[in-house]
Structure formats: structure tokens, C-alpha cells
Amino acid sequence: RKEVEQDPGPFNVPEGATVAFNCTYSNSASQSFFWYRQDCRKEPKLLMSVYSSGNEDGRFTAQLNRASQYISLLIRDSKLSDSATYLCVVNINNNDMRFGAGTRLTVKP
């Protein structure tokens, strides 16, 4: 089993749609969690951290379920500019960030 697993997609959605990405991780000792966004041929950029209580940043909502070792990202009212690959990231032990392979999203007009 991979340490961080994501549905690779691609997800093709129309503008304005709501889309959800899921991620599971295998190491129960994982300490912190993030979603990064990566545009084609660019570096990953932090989208948001994920907290146990769930957190929201504008159209983006992230949730963490430690019992199920599951992380989610919800994007509401999708924009064309949201098209990218979304990477689920798990910090194992303060120095070891494990990335999922990413979920590719294409938002179409």
C-alpha cells in the first residue's frame, strides 16, 4: 500500500461545479497534513494546511479524519484557474513529507 494515495483523475468539471478530492495515508503517526497545488511544469505551491477541526479558505474546504486516516479537499464554484494537479501531503515525523501522486483537475468553460 502506498503511503499516500490519491485518485489520479483526471477530473473534468464545468465552471461553477463543486468537486471533491480524497486522500488516504497509511502512517497513523503522521503529524500534519497539507494540500499543495502544482501547475503544469511548475513547482508545488501550498494551497492550505489541514486541521483536525476542518478549515475553510474561500472556496476551498479541507477536512481531516484521523481515525480513518483520510483527508479531503472540496472546491466550490470551480474557476478555470483552478485547473491544476492537487497534491496531498503528509508530514510523517517533523522532517519527512510524503506526497501523493496528485489528482489532476481540469475546469472547462
Binding site for other proteins (CB under 8 A): 4, 8, 31-32, 34, 42-46, 49, 87, 89, 91, 94-102
Torsion angle (degrees, nearest 10) of CA 103, 55, 90, 93:
170
State the minimum distance, in angstroms, from the CB of residue 14 to other proteins. Answer: 25
Angle at 98 between CA 107 and CA 76, to 5 degrees: 25
State the minimum distance, in angstroms, from the CB of residue 69 to other proteins. Answer: 17
State the minimum distance, in angstroms, from the CB of residue 51 to other proteins. Answer: 10
DSSP 3-24: SEEE----EEEETT--EEEEEE
Give the residue with the Cβ less far from other proteins, 76 or 98.
98
Give the residue with the Cβ less far from other proteins, 71 or 100.
100
* Residue that is written with C-alpha cell 497509511 in the block: 26
Give the residue with the Cβ less far from other proteins, 15 or 96.
96
DSSP 27: -
State the minimum distance, in angstroms, from the CB of residue 96 to other proteins. Answer: 6
